[in-house]
Structure 1
Amino acid sequence: MDNRNHVRCSLPRLAIVGAAVVVLVSLAATPAASHGGPDTGVHSNYLIIVRKPYEYDTNVYKNVSSWHASLVASVCDMAKEALESDPSSVSRLIYSYRNVVNGFSARLTTEEVAEMEKMDWFVRAYPEKTYQLLTTHTPQLLGLMGPGSRRGASAGVWNTSNMGEGVIIGILDDGIYAGHPSFDGKDMKPPPAKWNGRCDFNKTVCNNKLIGARSFFESAKWKWKGLRDPVLPINEGQHGTHTSSTAAGSFVPGANVFGNALGTASGMAPRAHIAFYQVCYVEKGCDRDDILAAVDDALEDGVDILSLSLGDEQADDFSDDPVSLGGYSAAMHGVLVSAAGGNTGPGPSTVVNEAPWVLTVGAGTTDRRFVASVKLGSDITLDGESLSEPKNFGDEMRPLVRDVGDGMCTSENVLRAMNVTGKIIICDAGGDISTAKAKLVLRAGAAGMIVVAPQVFGSVIVPRPHALPTVQVPFANGQKIKAYIRATQNVTANFIFKGTVLNTPKSPIVAPFSSRGPNRRSRGILKPDIIGPGVNILAGVPKIEDIDLAPNAEMPKFDIKSGTSMAAPHLSGIAALIKNAHPTWSPAAIKSALMTTTDTTDNLRKPISDVDGTPAAYYAIGAGHVNARKAMDPGLVYNLSAADYVPYLCGLGYTDQKVNSIIHPAPPVECGKMMKLEQKDLNYPSITAILDKEPFAVNIDRSVTNVGTASSTYTVEVNVPATLSVEVKPTTLEFKALNEVLNYTVSVKTASGQAPASAIEGQLTWSSGKYVVRSPVLIIPGTGAKSSASAVAKQPTGGT
């Protein structure tokens, strides 16, 4: 059924009933809005939540959409003259939701919302809101390909998961270039019989790889005047094509970006199917009501995994966040949601998509660099990275200058006055993106450019192709170059391009932009959950942005991009591989398998570091960096059903209506009549406890399900600082059968008997000889705030 039904609020009531008896047959019994007169107010988009268990009469209404239309009509002004004075009032009901929320979105005036508030079915009206969008090597890096892959894995994950065959990954993003070779359906089997979606492209591009493609625009079109209605889910942006090909792109030989990262590209699950849902628009954003509609349809279409590289830093709680709402409905349908954790790090409390039923993904670097060095006239050579390697830059040393304006190379007049012709210029970050600076510097006559990364990026470089030879250097190296300029007359420099280099040390490092915890909406749940490759990821694009090619030059079909938006589809694809190998596992079991098998050390066997070189905190890496091979066979899992989150929500202090809004369409609950669950006791793969009351001791309960060897014995090991005392009972778990569930309790207290001064990190592992099942342990002090939904909402959001 198409959920885009509209109600004509401007027509006389009898005309509505006569013209659409099925849709609005009950209007004669519905009181008209009391404000009367023509409807000439300003209309805005609202998400309207309907009271639960308020239900419609199936003998009167054909479906939930027709009922929602009647609710809209009950407050719409019926004056005929409104049609001429306000044409936008013709279409009011935008979406009628079936799975994600108990409600609808509609075009309403503030007066009409006020009328709705008087109705017994009304709960809350949310104004319109915009959300933002937050490879050739990573399959080998993550151990998918067998020998030679990460850490010497002997058997690749693709061998045991059939490359995700038969699994459907639903991707919500900003459009897809359907004709890209990454979406070639050759040798792909048809989608499973459960697939119920549609592909709005023609049959030449819709195939057994790209099985679904739709646009959701009904709410966005009112918000962004002049935005062209996308008949097809395609645009000139790159994001959706990049994320889709990362998750499940087909094999494409010879993939590269201007000769860099040359190899055969593929997604994490190259035999999985892609169902694409366009909900975002370039330079605009992603409308909340369109996101909800897309998730609503995706669940009915039959997707197995949902990949969302979008989020909101300002959502008050889980009841007004479309990723949380859609993610819960997905959990009810057995669908795992992998969502980007946000790109506003490294500051604290910046992570988004924090609901415990969502896999929240941060970003780390890979061991691939595009190395280029700056050779100074003093014979010092300083490393950076470049995607702008010319065919022949030459060996001669060139004059080196620094922008005498703002230092950021933002004024073409200043550059020309300096006479930078034939010289290499060093530019600080800021003012504009580096690719735009390159064009300006090139017009001024420069031979090359050095771009100094922000200090907060540490050693991490995010290179881009530039219009002239460019080397991007870390902040520390930039300061050394500037010191050389200040101390020396007739300074010179040259570039040495070394190309793609693999197995670079100290990998991964947490990406500087990757958002950090603590979890603003639920401090007792560690977020992000995990990190994956998210820096310098090569994947498919329609074209490369900000590059002017020579006439008749072929536009590259792959590009390097960075962000948690790139990390999330890596985890989506790996989750699809696990789903193929374990089709009966719940989303929570798949999530647990990913989290308890992570790597916490880099390729030098040292703790994964943050950008400042210190060991990364749990608020940066969650459980650690994904290890796909181990996740396929984790031994034990921490399982949860969708219903298990309800006592947790009640424990947060959410009202019944908020809980029921989140868990829709499950039957309504009353928190006062059920046991509440503290955050620490949610059966989560990570363990977090808030010590905020004397005697600063807590007991934490967990249960684990045996999915490894039928007869197996696990022993516990706890590693925590001496400031904590931790006891686990029992210390041994003896399983006699697969799927057997055993419980244990962790008792934690401070050694001093006082409240912890700051967060304390440790780990708990269950080992059987074959398996090691690890959980991070995070003990944090209280904040003095009440443990309630309102308190959670008032915590600072952080970020920008």
Structure 2
Amino acid sequence: MRHKHNNDISLLLCLSLLTLLPLLAKCDEHQKPYIVYFGGHSGDKTPAQILETHHSYLTSVKETEEEAKASLIYSYKHSINGFAASLTPEQASQLNELDEVVSVIESRPRKYKPHTTRSWEFAGLNEAATYNPQVSNRFDTEKSFMAEDLLHKAGYGKDVIVGILDSGIWPEARSFSDEGLEPIPKTWKGICQTGQDFSSSHCNKKIIGARYYLKGFERHFGPLNATSDYRSARDKDGHGTHVASIAAGRQVQNASAFGGFARGTASGGAPLARLAVYKVCWPTPGQEKTMGNTCGQEDMLAAMDDAIADGVHVISISIGSDDLLSHMEDGISIGAFHALERNVVVACSAGNSGPTPATLSNAAPWIMTVGASSVDRAFLGRLVLGNGKMITGQTVTPYTLPERLPLIYAADAALPWVPKNETDQCLPNSLSPEKVKGKIVLCIRGTTFRVLKGMEVKRAGGAGFILGNSAEFGDAVYLEPHVLPTTALGYNDTNEVINYIKSNKDNATASLAEPETVFGNGPAPFMAGFTSRGPNVIHPSILKPDITAPGLNILAAWSEASPPSKVSEDHRVVSYNFDSGTSMSCPHVAGLAALIKAIHPTWSSAAIRSAIMTTASVKNKKGEAITDQSGDKATPFEFGSGHFRPSRAADPGLVYDASYGDYLLYLCSYGLRNADKRFECPEVLPPTYDLNYPSVSVPKLNGSATVRRTVTNVGGAGKAAYFFGGKPPPGLTVEARPSVLYFSRVGEKKSFELRVTVRNRTAAEGNFRGGYGFGWYAWRDDYHVVRSPIAVSLG
């Protein structure tokens, strides 16, 4: 250990004057969990030796060896070299001064926000058809040749292991049955960790592994409240069960929610893939009533270290942070970087902070970052106003109000104590029973849980409930298990109802018709308003998100210990539930990655990501451009390369591959030269936008820039010719050199240069959105279209 300096007098006093108990207590009060990260392991030490080394580092800043051992939270000793420990800021600073330390990270708990009967069928996989491995080797019904071909070739993902980092799993769910499954893959090295209400029998040939991680959480918050969650891998929240079933749930017939809504065959993308569950998220103290969860960085890093060693092939992480963290300050990014070295695909949610720009999380180039979009199924809840006007909202509440009743705006029924800017929110105990009783009440989305708004209307004696969107949410509506006859409206329809109420004063009336399920509804997919978006402020040379997938109103398995609304006042129990968020879109992509991994087991994680990205579509089902929450044309900062197309992704023609060394070179150009001690950065570094990525982002372009890329021929035919084409951002030109790529065999690589030039700066500035212009380029042969988005800002 080589120190640059060590002269912190306050720390020495704190550690040496042991007789001064108040001072010692003060030191303890300032201890926080930190992650000390050294990079990767050299492979020449046993786990016991690694642990001893980590203890020695702690002993160097602690008073005694016992104190050092007591402070240790985790020793990361598989792929990741580092440890988590309770340290004072001064001790953390001392360790950060060591040459061998890559980074020291103060571990702040990361909170996730809710960040599938129809979704896979909408995406091109025929999940309505069932597969019986004991009867035949094909679908019982044939609806989509390409989907059948993909699933058949992939064996439905039977030998692929998908790791889920989340809130655990409800093992009794029908989606996790192991009936008819083959033995557990011999490559599996993990365990089934027992705990509260979770025994070894809860693992099977479907859920082949389960672990839980509490040490970091309890260092932050103290012992887990025994009534708030299970001290095991069992899921009390519902979120983990939901995402696991989306990625790899079995095909379950007659799945539905709330008395029959969305009835059909529920399935994950890779229905025969195996699941390994890593519970890292726990109820946030003080937020148990609204099921708010926290996921500690040190716990997630320990889970990823174990998952890589256990032998997972794909990791799905529907967790993110509102904090914008750089490469080596983010536990998920560090873990995913080591997963990359072991060729493990990592898919992460982009976040739910839209429509504000530059809000996405999980932005590292070795992570597949997923935005959220809609499917084409709607559950129509028609509102009929007293003037005869019919407005179509959406609902999954099995109640109706066919007779006309008085209609009132919540802002006109709020009690005097309610702040003026919240009178329309239907906050708990905010409505006047005298004004609300027997009426239908219009409440606006925003403050507090949506289901709680309906509960407040019910408490005040209301007969029905309309949930209206404000401008920030546009026309995307959430399906919720409300407790009254309800419909949810987009922004424009909400305004129409408000105007009707205002123009009719005390005479406004309305009725709510019986819900109706329709398919092919509207211009789908469209981007969900909540989906976080670019530009990528951490890595401006990497366009993010990478892809979009269904994340709005997704039906999947649920924990029977969690009410469908996730509100403690709700005592209903369901097996399947709707949820929305990039949390739901992420496991869709993880499930597809599992299928591609099954078909192409030797492909790198970069090649799999490239295949998914370059085969995506930027058109909706009507053949028009994908739109955003306001109906305007969406951009790559919302959908990345486009909406994923599973049936195309297994045969992309060309892939943009990248090795672990390529990412280390990227980090050198980024300014991080010590990510791996075995790699020496060259003296001349390429620009960061030269990382061999399936998309192109050129920030602060002045004049022109040359972007270098290499593609690998993975098409079925050895000989192929690909021709360049595309559409440059406004006011720019994009040229490829060469403009034709000739291949003579599968596996052959060809390099090319893209010359991006400002042709008309005035035209560019006048047509750029938010400072960026967007375009695309593609390589085409007779069958494949290998498409990549382009984003450029001007310097």
Normalization by structure 1: what TM-score?
A: 0.86
Structure 1 residues 751 and 78, CA gap change in structure 2 (3 angstroms) = closer
1:37 correspondence with 2:2: no
Residues 648 and 679 of structure 1 are in contact (CA less than 8 Å); yes or no, is this contact kept in structure 2? yes
The equivalent position to 2:177 in structure 1, one of 174, 184, 194, is 184
Task: Name whichever of 635-644 and 439-448 sits farther off.
Answer: 439-448
2:155 matched to which residue of 1?
162
1:64, distance to aligned residue in structure 2 (A): 0.3
Q: How far off is 1:746 after superposition?
A: 1.2
SS at match of 1:157: helix
Please list the CA deviations of residues 537-559 of structure 1 after superposition, one character each: whole Å capped at 9, or x if unmatched: 0011113536699xx99832011
Deviation at 1:433, TM superposition (A): 1.8
Moved more, 720-729 or 118-127: 118-127
What is aligned with 1:4? none
When residues 119 and 376 of structure 1 are mapped into structure 2, their CA distance, relative to the original with a 3 A threshold, is closer
Displacement of 1:690 after TM fit?
Answer: 2.8
Instruction: Please list the CA deviations of residues 237-258 of structure 1 after superposition, one character each: whole Å capped at 9, or x if unmatched.
Output: 0110111111001122221111
Instruction: Note if 1:540 corresponds to 2:557.
Output: yes
Alpha carbons of structure 1 residues 540 and 57: separation in structure 2 relative to 1, 3 Å: closer
Distance 1:151 1:498, change over 3 A: farther
The structural deviation recorded for 1:317 is: 1.1
* Aligned counterpart, 1:240: 240
Amino acid at match of 2:611: A
Does residue 1:462 correspond to 2:478, yes or no?
Answer: yes
Aligned counterparts of 2:497 and 2:91: Cα–Cα separation in 1: 63
- Distance in 1, matches of 2:302 and 2:618, equals 38
Identity %: 34
Q: 1:138 to 1:77 in 2, by over 3 A?
A: same
Correspondent of 2:593 among 566, 575, 578 = 575
Cα offsets for 1:167-194 (capped at 9, x unmatched): 0000100121122111111111122111
Structure 2 residue 264 is matched with structure 1 residue 263? yes
Match of 2:136 in 1: none
SS in structure 1 of the partner of residue 513 of structure 2: strand
Distance 1:462 1:53 in 2: 43
1:399 aligns with 2:412: no
One-letter code aligned to 1:623: S
Distance 1:652 1:522 in 2: 9
Structure 1 range deviating more: 118-127 or 537-546: 118-127
SS in 2 for 1:204: helix
d(CA) in 1 for partners of 2:352, 2:471: 16
Q: Secondary structure at the match of 1:516?
A: coil
> 5 Å matches for 1:70-219?
70-78=56-64, 91-99=70-78, 101-113=80-92, 116=95, 124-133=103-112, 134-145=115-126, 153=146, 155-200=148-193, 201-219=198-216
Deviation at 1:691? 4.4
* Equivalent residue letter for 2:789: P
CA distance in 2, matches of 1:465, 1:536: 12
CA distance in 2, matches of 1:499, 1:429: 23
**Deviation per residue, 1:726-753 (Å, 9 max, x gap):** 2211121111100000111111211136
1:633 and 2:651 are equivalent in the alignment = yes
Matches within 5 A, 1:317-328: 317-328=326-337
Aligned pairs, number: 728
Question: 2:772 corresponds to which residue?
Answer: 759
1:726 aligns with 2:734: yes
* Counterpart position of 2:750: 742
The whole-number CA distance in structure 2 between the counterparts of 1:270 and 1:530 is 22
Q: How does 1:602-681 map to 2 (within 5 A)?
A: 602-654=620-672, 656-657=673-674, 659-660=675-676, 667-671=677-681, 673-681=682-690
Residues of 2 paired with 1:331 and 1:309: CA distance? 18
Preserved CA contact (<8 Å) 2:38 2:101: yes
User: Which of the residues 670, 678, 697 maps onto 2:704?
Assistant: 697
User: Does the Cα contact within 8 Å between 1:647 and 1:675 map onto a contact in 2?
Assistant: no
Please give the alpha-carbon distance, in whole angstroms, between the structure 1 residues aligned to 2:660 and 2:695.
18
1:212-236 per-residue CA deviation (whole Å, 9 max, x = no partner) reads 1100111111111232485411242
1:49 is aligned, of 27, 36, 44, to 36
Aligned to 1:776: 789
Deviation of 1:142 after TM superposition, in Å, equals 1.5
> TM-score when scaled to structure 2?
0.87
- 1:679, CA displacement in angstroms? 2.1
- C-alpha deviation, 1:33, in angstroms: 7.2
Change (3 A) 1:51 1:335: closer
Aligned in 2, Cα 1:362/1:626: closer, same or farther, shift over 3 Å? same
Q: Please point out which of 32, 49, 67 is paired with 2:53.
A: 67
Question: 2:39, 2:82 within 8 Å by CA — same for their partners in 1?
Answer: no
Report whether the alignment pairs 1:444 with 2:460.
yes
AA partner of residue 689 (structure 1): V
* CA distance in structure 1 between the partners assigned to 2:59 and 2:43 by the alignment: 15
> Which residue identity is paired with 1:396?
E
Q: Structure 1 residue 518 and structure 2 residue 535: aligned?
A: yes
Q: Answer whether contact 1:691 1:755 (CA < 8 A) is retained.
A: no
Once the two structures are superposed, the pairs formed by residues 5-44 of structure 1 within 5 Å of their partners are: 35-38=15-18, 40=25, 41-42=27-28, 44=31
Query: Match for 2:171: what amino acid?
Result: A
Residue 415 of structure 1: how far off its partner (Å): 2.4
| Cα 1:421–1:528 shift into 2, 3 Å | same
- Cα-to-partner distance string for 1:610-655 (whole Å, 9 max, x where unaligned): 111111011111100000000011111000011101121111223x
Deviation readout 1:345-402 (Å, 9 max, x if unpaired) = 1111101111111100000011011111110111100011111122xx3532112122
**Residues of 2 paired with 1:93 and 1:417: CA distance?**
59
Give the structure 1 partner of residue 315 of structure 2.
Answer: 306
Distance, in Å, in 2 between the alignment partners of 1:171 and 1:679 is 31
- Aligned partner of residue 136 in structure 1, secondary structure: coil
Q: Tell me, what secondary structure is at the counterpart of 1:395?
A: strand
Does the 8 Å contact 1:722/1:751 carry over to 2? no
SS of structure 2 residue aligned to 1:634: coil
What is the alpha-carbon distance in structure 2 between the residues aligned to residue 711 and residue 540 of structure 1?
Answer: 46
1:508 Cα shift? 0.5
Structure 1 CA distance, aligned partners of 2:788 and 2:98? 48
The residue number in structure 2 matching 1:559 is: 577
Q: Which one-letter code corresponds to 1:588 in the other structure? A: A
Structure 1 residues 205 and 57, CA gap change in structure 2 (3 angstroms):
closer
Q: For the residues of structure 1 that align with 2:651 and 2:281, how far apart are their CA atoms?
A: 36
Contact 1:56–1:64 under 8 Å retained in 2:
no
Q: 2:339 & 2:357 partners in 1: Cα distance?
A: 29
Between the aligned partners of 1:314 and 1:279, the Cα distance in structure 2 is 19
Of 701, 713, 723 in structure 2, the residue corresponding to residue 706 of structure 1 is 713
In 1, Cα distance between the equivalents of 2:580 and 2:730?
39
Q: What RMSD over aligned residues (CA atoms) do the two structures have, in Å?
A: 2.8
How big is the shift at 1:308? 0.5
> Against the structure 1 CA distance between its residues 55 and 274, is the aligned structure 2 distance closer, same or farther, given a 3 Å change threshold?
closer
Determine the structure 2 residue equivalent to 1:794.
none
1:368 aligns with 2:365: no
CA distance 1:208–1:36, shift in 2 (3 Å)? same
* Cα deviation 1:436-485 (Å, max 9, x = unaligned): 12122112221111111122222211120111111111121111112111
Q: Distance in 1 between matches of 2:537 and 2:157?
A: 34
Q: In the TM superposition, what is the alpha-carbon distance from 1:163 to its structure 2 partner?
A: 1.0
Q: How far is 1:340 from its partner? A: 0.4
**SS of residue matched to 2:192:** coil
Asked if the contact 1:308/1:338 (under 8 Å) is kept, the reply is yes
